[in-house]
Amino acid sequence: QSALTQPRSVSGSPGQSVTISCTGTSSDVGGYKYVSWYQQHPGKAPKLVIYDVNKRPSGVPDRFSGSKSGNTASLTISGLQADDEADYYCYSYAGSYTFVFGGGTKLTVL
Amino acid sequence: QVHLVESGGGVVQPGRSLRLSCAASGFTVSSYAMQWVRQAPGKGLEWVAVISHDGSNKYYADSVKGRFTISRDISKNTLYLQMNSLRAEDTAVYFCAREADTSLVIDYWGQGTLVTVSS
């Protein structure tokens, strides 16, 4: 149950795009379609922004998109806005009804 | 409207026990799998435990296996986390969360309750 690997921080200017990676193994990210992404603002509960690798929940803008290749999943945020500044976590099913989070990535909007 | 409200957090000495509660509203816990997730101060999210929708299966992170127990009371529509033999490294905000019925993903979260393990 090792945490998935994410960059500690990424940054971008308003209007630009950023991509956050999430690297696991064939036992978690690479083995299942159940990869999701959460946005967390300071002091708040996480909010789901992507699930099943590339699906967006109702109410999440299409600026948020997800993908996966092999053991690495990615979250791309286009048209960066100030409110996108937050921590982002990937989350994957890891088999035997267990789950694992990524270490988290701090997104700074410059 | 789905709501999850955690309670039971506080300061506890190492080696002691604490039970967290999560009152659910807007849905019935008997229809959904439920999870506990924690976040140490200034750190990332850590998955803790899950109970299946029918309550028959319970699974735990290695870090809490044998010390924590997840359970639920359908009559009270409430989820619990019994934490025994607490350690300093268990200090965290504990979130109650609902697993979606269409995928293995958390779709709703509570606001969390802080557990501090300190002498």
Cα nearest neighbour of B96 on chain A: A45
| Regions of chain B short of the pLDDT cut 70 | none
CA–CA gap between residue B20 and residue B112 (Å, rounded)? 10
Other beta carbons less than 10 A from residue B40's beta carbon: 13
Cα nearest neighbour of A35 on chain B: B105
Express as a percent the part of chain A with pLDDT over 70: 99
The single-letter DSSP state of residue A27 is T
CB pairs < 8 Å spanning A and B:
67
Would the CB atoms of A48 and B57 count as touching at under 8 Å? no
Please classify residue A26 by burial: count the beta carbons closer than 10 Å to its beta carbon, then call 0-12 exposed, 13-18 middle and 19+ buried: exposed
How do B113-117 and B78-83 pair as beta strands?
unpaired
Q: Give me the pLDDT at residue A83, please.
A: 96
User: Whose CA is closest to A33, among A77, A74, A68, A75?
Assistant: A68
CA–CA gap between residue A63 and residue B113 (Å, rounded)? 32
Q: Give me the pLDDT at residue B2, please.
A: 96
Q: Give me the pLDDT at residue B101, please.
A: 85
- Find the mean pLDDT for residues A19-34: 96
Q: Choose the closest CB to A45 out of B59, B100, B109.
A: B109
CA–CA gap between residue B119 and residue B105 (Å, rounded)? 36
Contact between A45 and B110 under an 8 Å Cβ cutoff? The reply is: yes
Q: Give me the pLDDT at residue A2, please.
A: 84
Contact between A67 and A73 under an 8 Å Cβ cutoff? The reply is: yes
CA–CA gap between residue B71 and residue B82 (Å, rounded)? 8
**In DSSP terms, which residues pair with B92 in a beta bridge?**
B115
Does residue A1 carry a pLDDT above 80?
no
Mean pLDDT of chain A, nearest integer: 96
User: Whose CA is closest to A34, among A42, A44, A22, A45?
Assistant: A22
Other beta carbons less than 10 A from residue B75's beta carbon: 7
Best of B51, B52, B105, B114 to disrupt the A interface (most A CBs within 10 Å) is: B105
Phi, psi of A31 (to 5 degrees): -100, -10
Contact between B19 and B82 under an 8 Å Cβ cutoff? The reply is: yes
Question: CA-based angle B98:B99:B103, to the nearest 5?
Answer: 155
